[in-house]
Structure 1
Amino acid sequence: MDPVTRHAVTVQGPLDAPPLVFAHGFGCDQSMWRHVAPMFADRHRVVTFDFAGAGGSDPAAYDPDRHRHLDGYAADLLDVLQALDLRDVVLVGHSVAAMIGALATIAEPELFAGLVMVGPSPRYLDDDGYTGGFTREDIDELLSSLASNYLGWSAAMAPAIVGNPDRPELGHELTAAFCRTHPDVARRFAEATFLSDNRADLPHVAVPALVLQCREDVIAPVEVGTYVAEQLPDATLVVLDAIGHCPQLSSPELTADAIRAWLDEQAAA
């Protein structure tokens, strides 16, 4: 099966326009970008897709060995870009997809013109001199709870992840997205995500980057966004006046405006 079908690729906008590819994070699918991606279809070839094991992707696309580490997801992303014959891509990656995008740009930098990282984290675990936001006990408890009762974990965690307690519908939407993922796939992807350490990869990202950070985020605190921007060779940090880990859901206009402003700066440079 070709990558376009395998990953349920959707394309909007002029086919000859600069490509803008949106990649979703853990437990989500391409529908998480539905408020933001269409805002760019007037002047970009906008591409969304589902990673293996998510959304409308072919169930056979998921391979426990290939997707044991984030490199397998980066290879999937590159497969999609090559199948569409895309060049000069600006990738917009949310959460773990930001690091997947970083790995893809390192593997094949000639395909990319830029990288937008929304709520990135190269390492979720705290370390000496580094604040990731979680202790090892936190991660072990998270993975244990996810493995033993995925639906319960989803219902409890989604509202905390998305933030904005005055808008419970956002938590409900993220819960529903989590629940569309098979529990075994979610558990393995969670391990690949929350036990990863890609700090050493950041200096090797050779394309300009925008780091979008919410001012309050329980998954990737401001210290993490600052660290990412400092470690990248060419990065701009923008702290959004937004709460939660999913600004594309809670503050889509603010998110789109920040991306658009950076794209305009890059075009003028």
Structure 2
Amino acid sequence: MRVIERNNVHVRGSGGRSMIFAHGFGCDQNMWRLVEPAFAGEFKTVLFDHVGAGGSDLKAYDKEKYSSLAGYADDVVEIGRELGLADAVFVGHSVSSMIGALAAQKAPGMFGKLVMVGPSPRYIDEGDYFGGFTERQIDELLQFLDSNHMGWSVQMAPAIMGNPDRPELGQELTNSFCRTDPDIAKAFARVTFKSDNRADLGKVDVPTLILQCSDDIIASKPVGEFVNRAIPNSEIVFLEATGHCPNLSAPDEVVAAMRTFV
């Protein structure tokens, strides 16, 4: 049961099928608290923390293993095998959307459907691809994080959350960022913002739902549309929710979109 402890896995709900929720950068499984209960009556729900986040075992962090998203995808597969997941629904927020895409390829049959909330396969503009940031902007963002983790969190979290009329949401994300181990956060940020998973999208062979927020500074509409075009059997739903964390800012809208898909 080492993997269960390592990733602070919690299994709830009931039902013949399973649904596993994966959080984004700087967050933990608590970010799903307003969405997961809506499915606990129909699914066995699985919540976990990526190594380095929440209640995970920080001693399990391996710099080499987690130098790419593949290391995190390996953890997801290990969790799935430990729990005997088959034809499960994988729900990933932000960077975990790509982690889910990789995990589905590593373990055929484990996941029957993917839900991607605010996905981006690459954050840096390249050629005719619009990721939303220049390489220089990403480098400056990472340098700021390297030099001042707390200051970065206080400044960036509210911008990422959006919804300035609801400052308590930005504060919650700020607190979450600040709780993350600074060294691990810096490494995970570099992996997140420097990764390029565009080539992996065409290999996703399970039905996929993309939830695209409006006014999202991290994963804009053109990015969501790119993901939709790149994944063969995918559909995209444009949410009225603003910002990058609709699982907190508009959980009812997220649940409604997911229900029609799963």
| Range into which the TM-score falls when normalised by the shorter chain | over 0.9
1:190-245, CA deviations, whole angstroms, 9 ceiling, x for partnerless residues?
A: 01000000000100001110000001100000000000010001001001001000
Shift of 1:150: 0.3
Tell me the matched-pair count: 262
Classify the secondary structure of the residue corresponding to 1:32: helix
Shift of 1:17: 2.4
Equivalent residue, structure 2, for 1:233: 232
Classify the secondary structure of the residue corresponding to 1:109: coil
Rounded to whole Å, the distance in 1 between the matches of 2:7 and 2:215 is 32
Shift of 1:89: 1.1
Equivalent residue, structure 2, for 1:110: 109
Rounded to whole Å, the distance in 2 between the matches of 1:248 and 1:141 is 28
Aligned residue runs from structure 1 range 44-193, under 5 A: 44-193=43-192
Rounded to whole Å, the distance in 1 between the matches of 2:36 and 2:60 is 24
Rounded to whole Å, the distance in 1 between the matches of 2:102 and 2:156 is 27
Q: Tell me if the contact between 1:94 and 1:118 (Cα under 8 Å) persists in the aligned partners.
A: yes
Equivalent residue, structure 2, for 1:10: 10
Equivalent residue, structure 2, for 1:266: none
1:102-128, CA deviations, whole angstroms, 9 ceiling, x for partnerless residues?
A: 000111122110100000000000011
Q: Tell me if the contact between 1:126 and 1:133 (Cα under 8 Å) persists in the aligned partners.
A: yes
Aligned residue runs from structure 1 range 185-204, under 5 A: 185-204=184-203
Rounded to whole Å, the distance in 2 between the matches of 1:171 and 1:202 is 31
Amino acid at match of 1:24: H
Rounded to whole Å, the distance in 2 between the matches of 1:173 and 1:62 is 25
Classify the secondary structure of the residue corresponding to 2:225: helix
Rounded to whole Å, the distance in 1 between the matches of 2:28 and 2:255 is 18
Rounded to whole Å, the distance in 2 between the matches of 1:140 and 1:123 is 14
Classify the secondary structure of the residue corresponding to 2:165: coil
5+ residue gaps, structure 2, are none
1:1-42, CA deviations, whole angstroms, 9 ceiling, x for partnerless residues?
A: 61111111111111x421000000001000000000111001
Rounded to whole Å, the distance in 1 between the matches of 2:173 and 2:192 is 17
Rounded to whole Å, the distance in 1 between the matches of 2:97 and 2:108 is 15
Amino acid at match of 1:17: G
Q: Tell me if the contact between 1:2 and 1:83 (Cα under 8 Å) persists in the aligned partners.
A: no
Equivalent residue, structure 1, for 2:218: 219
Amino acid at match of 2:211: L
Amino acid at match of 1:56: G
1:84-114, CA deviations, whole angstroms, 9 ceiling, x for partnerless residues?
A: 1111111000000000000001111221101
1:210 aligns with 2:217: no
Identity %: 55
1:151-178, CA deviations, whole angstroms, 9 ceiling, x for partnerless residues?
A: 0000000000000000000000000111
1:23-76, CA deviations, whole angstroms, 9 ceiling, x for partnerless residues?
A: 000010000000001110011001110000000001112111100000000001
- Supply the RMSD in Å over aligned alpha carbons: 0.7
Rounded to whole Å, the distance in 2 between the matches of 1:240 and 1:255 is 8
Rounded to whole Å, the distance in 1 between the matches of 2:185 and 2:32 is 20
Classify the secondary structure of the residue corresponding to 2:164: coil
Classify the secondary structure of the residue corresponding to 1:245: coil
Rounded to whole Å, the distance in 1 between the matches of 2:199 and 2:42 is 35
Amino acid at match of 2:238: V
1:23 aligns with 2:2: no
Rounded to whole Å, the distance in 1 between the matches of 2:247 and 2:145 is 24
